[in-house]
Structure 1
Amino acid sequence: MTQSGGGGCGGGADYHLPDEILAVMPTDPYEQLDLARKITSMAIASRVSKLEMENGRMRHKVAEKDRVIAELQDKLSHLDRMFQEADARLRVACEENIELSKERDSLAQTSKKLARDLAKLETFKRHLMQSLNDDNSSPSQATVDIGTYDQSVAKASSWKLANPAGRKFSITPHITPRLTPTATPKVTSTSGSPRGYSAAGSPKLTSGATSPTKRCFEGRTAISPWYPSSQQSSAASSPPHGRSMPGRAPRIDGKEFFRQARSRLSYEQFGAFLANIKELNTHRQSREETLKKAEEIFGTDNKDLYVSFQGLLNRNLP
C-alpha cells in the first residue's frame, strides 16, 4: 500500500506539483479529493468575490454614465427649447421686417407726395403774397392817373357843350384800380350810365365820393367846374356813397372785396378766381364769360360775393 501510495505520490510528479505540496498532501486518494474540492471551492469563492466586486464597480460606472446622460439630455432639451424660441423670434422679426419695409415704402411715397404738395402750396403762397402786396400798393398807384382824370373831365366838358338838347350833364369820374394788382386804374367816363351823370334840374346830385380810392385824391380833386354853385354845395355835402339803388347789394371797393374773398374761399377757389381775373385782364375772355366762371367758383354759398364782383365789373369796365 505504501509503495502504491508512494507510487501514487511518486506518480504525482507527472502533474508537476511542487515538493512542498506533495509533502503535505495526504496519501489517501479520497482525502486528496476532499482537499481538492476544498481548494476548488476556495478558488471559486475567491473568483466569485472578485467578479462581484468588479460587477459593483461596473454598476457604479454605469450609474455615473446614466447620470451624465440624463444631464446631457436635460441640456439638450433646454437647448432645443431655446432653439425653438429663437426660431420663433426670428420668424416674427422677419415678418416685422417685411411690414417695416412695406411701411417704409409707403412713407417714402407719402413723403414724395407731400413734398410735391408742399412745393405747389409754396408756389401758390408766393403768388398769393405777391398778389396781396400788389393789391395793397394799388391805391397808391391810382394817384398816378390824375392826368387821365383831368382828360376825362375835359372830354366831359366838351361833350356837355356839344349836347344839342341844351341840357347840362355832369360826368362824375369813377377811378378805381383794376381787380388785379398789375392792371392800370381805369377811368370810367361813360355818359350813358345812370351813375355817370346827373341832370342840372335835379335837386340832388350823385356824389363823386363813391369811388373806393377817393382817399388818394382828397385835397387834389375838386368838383367839376361846370357844376352850378347850388349843385356844387349839394355834391360836396352829399353822403360818401351817393344814392342807394333799390335791390342792389352794398357797394364795396376792390380791396374790401378781395379781403372777403380771401377769408371765405378756399385756396383752390381763390386761385381759380385769380386765374379767371387774369384771363379777363389779358382779354382772353369776355366779361360775360368771366362772370359765368366766377358764379361757378363762388357757388350758392357765396352768392353775395358774386353780386359784389358783378357790381365791381359793372363799375370798372365800360
Structure 2
Amino acid sequence: MIVTLTTNPSLDRTISLAAPLQVGEVQSALGVREDAGGKGINVARVVAAASRPTLAVLPLDPRDPFAGALAATGVPTRTVAHDGATRANITIADHAGTTTKLNLPGAAFTEEDAAALTAAVVAASEAASWLVLAGSLAPGLPVDYYVSVIEAVRAAWGPSAPRIAVDTSGPALAAVVAAGRPDLIKPNDEELAELTGRGLDAELELPDAVARIARRLVPASVAVALVTLGGDGAVLVTADGAWHGTPPPTRVRSTVGAGDSSLAGYLLAETTGAAPEERLRSGIRYGSAAASLPGTQPPTPHDLSTGAVPVRLLSQDNPTTGGHRD
C-alpha cells in the first residue's frame, strides 16, 4: 500500500493552445480539461492506474464540487472535513508542450484542522509500505508540518512504520531534510540547488553536478534522492552510488504532473524489489509518459514508451553506506 498526503489539493484546469501564449493578446483555445490534482493525489492516481493498492488522504469540504472530480478518478481516499473550497490551478499549454502555470492559494488551516489531518494520516499509514508527503503546504500550516507528520507516524507504528517519501520545495523541504530524516526526496535540479544553497557546477555535465550536491545530503540526512531533470531525465543518488537515466524520445504535451508520475513510477518499481537502475528507469518512463499526455492525466502501464532508457553509473564522490534504509 502506498499512502499519499495532499494538504493543498487542486482542481487542475489545463487550456490547450494551437500557438505559443501571447501575453496581452486574445487567443482561441483548442480545448480545456479538468482533473482532480495536487501532487499526492497525482501519485495515487498513477499507482491506482497500475492496479496497485493506494490511499489518498486530503482535506475536503463535503459541499465542495471538487468531491465529484475526485470521485471520478476512482482513487480510494480518506478525507478530513475542512471548510473552504479547493483551489484551482490553471495551466496553459501550447502545441510544443510549453506550459504556463497559475497556482491559486488554498483554504486556510487552523491548529485543529492540522491535528485532524495528522491523525487521519497516522491511521491510514498502518501496514503501508510508503507514505508520500507531497506538494505545497496549505495556508496556515507551519513550515515544519511534514516533520510533525513524520514524527507522529513513526511514533505510532514504530519499526513497522512506512518509509517516507517527500516531494515539496522551499522551506518545507528544508525543514524535512533538517529534522525529518526522510527515506526519499524528489526535488528537481533547481529545488536541490536551493535546498543545499549551492549552485550547480557549470564545468560539469548537469547529471554529475546534480549528483555532487545531492551527495551532501545522502546518506547523512536523506536515504535516497531522486532528482528529476525534465528532458534530461533523472539522477538517483543512494548511499551506494549515483546513476543518471536518459528518457526515451517523447512528444511533450504537458509537463504538469510529470514529476509526480516519476515518483510514482520509482515507488512502483521499488515495492517489487527492483534494483536502483530499474527503479530509475521506471521513474523516467512514467514521467515521460505523463509529459506525453494532456493535462494531469495519469499514465497507465499501457502509456509507457517501449524505447530504451539508458542508465549509466556516475562517478562517486566518496559515497558511504549506512544511516538509512535504501
TM-score normalized with structure 2 length = 0.23
The structure with more helix, counted as a fraction of residues: 1
- Higher RCO structure (Cα 8 Å, ≥6 apart): 2
Which of the two has higher C-alpha Rg? Answer: 1
- TM (norm. structure 1) is 0.23
